[in-house]
Amino acid sequence: MLPAPQHAEEVPFVSRRGGRPAAPNLVFILADDLGWSDLGCFGSPSIRTPHLDRLAAEGIRFTHAYAGSSWCSPTRFSLYTGRNPGRLAAGLEEPLRTRADGNGIPADHPTLPSLLLDAGYDTAMFGKWHCGWLPWYSPLRIGFQTFFGNLDGAMDYFEHIGTLGEPDLFEGETPVEMTGYYTDLISARAAEWISTPRDRPFYLQLNYTAPHWPWEGRADAEEGRRIRQQYAEGKVPFPLLHTDSGSLAKYGELVETMDDAIGEVLAAIDRAGKRDDTLIVFCSDNGGERWSMNWPYVGEKGDLTEGGIRVPFILRWPEAVAPHQVADQPNITMDWTATFLDAAGTGPHADWPLDGVSLLPWLVDGAAYPEHDLFWRISSQGALRRGRFKYLRDGRDRAYLGNWPRFPGRYELLYDVTVDGREAADLSRRYPEVLAELRAAWDRIDATLLPYPPDHPGLPRHAERGRPAVSQAD
């Protein structure tokens, strides 16, 4: 497979061993459905992302970073709780759609924002929530003091309506109406919040809906109205579904607009004099879909192959981490929950242990990298990565090669993803002992999670054996 893009000044990560800065500011920026190769610093040949490219050059570019799930809302559960999404009933939906009590993050569940708040941090979220709906759930109920954004999983960039066609822009828990392009609105609010004088460290969660559909750039207000007209005429099943438009160029425009808006947030950090003592992370909530570029990986959002879960990941922390570095150590969303808490000088609640591992000793103390298993489970697949090996359990119909006849699962596959990121060479017969070890490790974790209900729409429904297959999307 092709290696991750190399940059002239980039060197393998080495810790400065300069000690732990006390109570850094923490910023976590999350893109929505961004593909592996959709940033200049991750190899995009056409999308220009100068601000994120500079952020990467000023810190570490991680080439084996993974989302907590291949679906958006489960990844968000894993970030805020630091635990596998399958520990909550809402984490079983792919993605979260049911608006009901019991289907979100409970207010009494310790979370990244609530633990940081208790540790003396100011906390704020701007942008997409997608972890439960009012009147039962909101960011304000899990530790965020400030919230401006949307509750649903997608949003029209101009009319600010959600997937049911209802207004979905909130100030705290109060619906508000504003004009403006959503990417710009939440970025401006984040920059304003950063600029507010304060005597406490802060944690900012900035969640873009970009580059998720609908495919609307800054000049495309009419496109949203056209989609709504199609819905009114019964041509699409819900009022944001956008399957008859978009292009590589339009998708690139959404990414570039997001990069431009992130540049304004980074400038606000600089103006506030917070650049050196602010730990910033940028990544995607899962792999890309449709117009995104996941090359060289196969699969996309909703799939536990590399294209669905390996994400572009950038870290900058000038006070503690040297610039121009690249790291290939495997890590997952929940590790960064643990790392942020550790950097703030606090930790998880004793009754709610994390499923992630703090990377802080490796980052700043020079400790060895904490080798640990990375685990995923969705309704149709499971996966576990240990070192160079990745175990993939696939319950769906599958063809042995290309368009050969497709046969029902369950398939158990083994790949060396350090050299075979396209997951084309199944090593299960060559290393049966490794397959058995990783299967057993996966089963042990799975046994601690909530089961999927038997009527879950994602559970495999096998078709007749031997039917013609179609190629898997790249």
Active site residues per annotation: 72, 130
User: Do residues 248 and 291 make contact, with C-beta atoms less than 8 angstroms apart?
Assistant: yes
Dist CA 181 CA 264 (whole Å): 15
User: Do residues 412 and 428 make contact, with C-beta atoms less than 8 angstroms apart?
Assistant: yes
Question: Edge-to-edge strand order for the sheet containing 381-386?
Answer: 374-377, 381-386, 389-394, 411-416
Q: What share of the chain is helix, strand, coil (3-state, %, to 5)?
A: 25, 15, 55
Token pair recorded at residue 344: 């703030």
> Cis (ω within 30 of 0) for the bond into 113?
no
- Match 């049966």 to its residue by tokens: 432
**Cα-based distances in Å from 115 to 241, 347, 457:** 37, 8, 35
The 8-class DSSP code of residue 364 comes to I
Q: What is the CA radius of gyration of the chain?
A: 21
**Cα-based distances in Å from 82 to 44, 112, 387, 423, 453:** 31, 7, 21, 28, 23
3 state SS for 124-193: EEEEECCCCCCCCCCHHHCCCCEEEEECCCCCCCCCCECCCCCECCEECCEECCCCCCHHHHHHHHHHHH
Dist CA 98 CA 301 (whole Å): 20
Token pair recorded at residue 462: 């096998």
Dist CA 122 CA 116 (whole Å): 8
User: Do residues 184 and 261 make contact, with C-beta atoms less than 8 angstroms apart?
Assistant: yes
Token pair recorded at residue 154: 């997608």
Pairing of strands 11-12, 325-327: parallel
Token pair recorded at residue 458: 């994602």
User: Do residues 405 and 466 make contact, with C-beta atoms less than 8 angstroms apart?
Assistant: yes
Closest CA to 9 of 323, 315, 314, 282: 323
3-state secondary structure at position 248: helix
